[in-house]
Amino acid sequence: MGHSIFSNGINLLISLLLVLIVPKALGITSYGYWQLYVFYTTFSGFVNLGWVEGVYLDYGGKDSQSINSNDITLEYKLFLLYALSASFLLFSFGTFFADSTNERFIFQMFAIATFLTVSRGFLQYLFQSIDEIKRYSKSILLDRFVYATIVTILLSNGYNDYKGLIILDILSKLVGFIYTLLLSRDILVIKTNFDIGILRIIKGHFLIGISLFLSNIASQLIMSVSRIMIKNKWSIEIFGKVSLGLSLISFFMVFINAIGVVVFPFLKKMNSNNYACIYIKSYNIFSIIMCLILIFYYPVSAFVSLWLPNYLESIKYMVFLFPICIFESITLILTNSFLKAERQEKKMFKINFISFILSFIINGITYYLFNSVDIMLFGLLFSIGFKSMYSSTILRGSLNISGVMTMDFILIFSTLFFIGLNQTFVLWHAFIFYLVYIIVLLFVGRRKKFIKV
């Protein structure tokens, strides 16, 4: 876990540097287009169609010595050919069907980024599944470091063209892709012997991974549909301000993801009879950590008001985005890891699909009946909170767990209390009240023994 936390810590500093500089240098409209490109790249994984997810699940718990180098190399070559074809189709779509020159350029760059992202992602998933966390950590660092260095130099000297930043992002992804190939040189081989059996292996990976893939799509669409509606109903500027809020809370997600990366291979090596005990202890700890993370809303808001005064609206949006971080983190780290370890991908898809339908209905109502970004974001929070609680209930049922409802109540109440405070009081008054609440919660929880960490 140390390598994962270190690399994600460096990634955090790089992301922080970019958030400090990019919106300040570009201006609201250009930053909105930059964030639109970043948003589109979150859909790159849709190209996988379950292939990469199947590799991840199939090799989970194994080590690099047990992998057939000829088979995995041959499969990877075929995947590269497939990814190149898919990216070409995306590029063509953007060329002929984009609404404006800016969106055409963004979609074309997204298509190129997709090839580089999924091609490297195949190997990164493989690193995670075989518990090569050190290699995985190295693979995510280089391109971000190269990109951040060049961007900082350019923006510090007055450069403010978002298109140039996107091109630099593509080039840095290319560097990262090549470096990841080098990290894989003991797994991949140069010469391969074609065996028709590889098609059977690939088919198996598709069948294994399709449920997890569809689950991931449904989960991602919960938030993505809201952002698309915000862009279409309001403006690219409002979209950029909401995206800035998401970028700021992503700092906390970085360390959370560092833990999540190692949970699945860890569980695959454990006796499943111990899952219930591990889950209860982990859930108690993470629930309290998530409540504590809400405190960081206040210094982040103070930073935005001082450094980025043109983005003050992002502060009120973060009132809803920070709690979203809480519920999404618990789902990613705990619930999904345990469900994947138990090979419950179909249940994950059912959970995420139902949550997506709920989100779509709520988004539709708020889109047509209310002219409020706040209401739409609250609807998004409700949908993600529902998904988190619903998935936790399903997991607990399969593990025969009871007696953690108190922590569920604390999470929900803390979220509503946090939102209520910040809708009612000025920033620093709300901070004092929430800090007192956390102190009382920890004190009473330890006395009454419903908080056990």
pLDDT for position 300:
84
Summarised one tens digit per residue, pLDDT across range 257-294 is 666 666 666 676 677 777 778 777 778 888 888 888 88
Better-predicted residue by pLDDT, 147 or 81: 81
Indicate whether 281 and 312 sit together in one domain: yes
Q: Within 10 Å of residue 46's Cβ, how many Cβ atoms?
A: 16
Q: What is the mean pLDDT of residues 84-95?
A: 91
pLDDT per residue as tens digits for the range 206-259: 888 888 788 878 888 888 888 888 888 877 788 888 887 877 776 666 666 666
* Same structural domain, 316 and 279: yes
Domains held by the chain: number: 2
Does 215 lie in the same domain as 163?
no
For 68, 78, 144, 167, 395, the CA distances from 110, given in Å and listed in that order, are: 33, 22, 17, 10, 36
Picking from 150, 171, 195, the residue at the C-terminal end of a domain is: 195
Asked if residue 266 belongs to a domain, the reply is yes
Average pLDDT, the chain: 82
* Cβ count near 246 (within 10 Å): 20
DSSP states of 276-301:
HHHHHHHHHHHHHHHHHHGGGHHHHH
190, part of any domain? yes
Residue 387 placed within a domain: yes
Is 278 part of a structural domain of the chain? Answer: yes
Share of the chain above pLDDT 90, in %: 11
Alpha helices in 98-132, H assignment, sequence order: 101-129
- Domain around 330: 211-453
191, 216: one domain = no
Residue 108's pLDDT band, with cuts at 50, 70 and 90, is: very high
Residue 277 pLDDT: 80
What is the number of alpha carbons within 13 Å of residue 170 lying toward its C-beta? 19
Whether 204 is in a domain gets the answer no
Same domain flag for 247 and 127: no
* Residue 202 maps to a domain: no
Segment 1-52, tens digit of pLDDT: 555 556 666 666 676 677 777 887 887 888 888 888 888 888 888 888 888 8
Residues 114, 230: one domain? Answer: no
175 and 53 in a common domain: yes
Reply yes or no on whether the pLDDT at 433 is more than 90. yes
Domain boundary among 195, 229, 245: 195
Verify that 380 and 410 share a domain, yes or no: yes
- The reply to whether 105 and 13 lie within a common domain is yes
Those residues whose C-beta lies under 8 Å from the C-beta of residue 94, and which sit 6 or more positions away, are 103, 104, 106, 107, 108, 110, 111
The answer, yes or no, to whether residue 420 has pLDDT greater than 60, is yes
Residue 45 lies in a domain: yes
Same domain, 223 and 186: no
Most confident of 79-83, 130-134, 238-242: 79-83
Task: Tell which phi-psi region holds residue 174, choosing left (phi > 0), alpha (psi between -120 and 50) or beta.
Answer: alpha
Domain boundary at 195, 230, 252, which? 195
Tens of pLDDT, residue by residue over 153-187, are: 887 777 778 888 899 889 989 988 999 888 888 88
Give pTM, 2 decimals: 0.77
At 448 the pLDDT is 59
Q: What is the mean pLDDT of residues 418-425?
A: 91
Distance CA 125, CA 437 (A): 41
What's the pLDDT at 4?
53
User: Does residue 307 register a pLDDT over 90?
Assistant: no
CB atoms inside a 10 Å sphere around CB 349: 20
Q: In this structure, are 112 and 64 located in the same domain?
A: yes
- Count of residues in the chain: 453
Task: Using DSSP, state whether 267 is helix, strand or coil.
Answer: helix
| 200 is a domain residue | no
Query: Does one domain contain both 364 and 220?
Result: yes
User: Does residue 250 contact residue 41 with C-beta atoms inside 8 Å?
Assistant: no
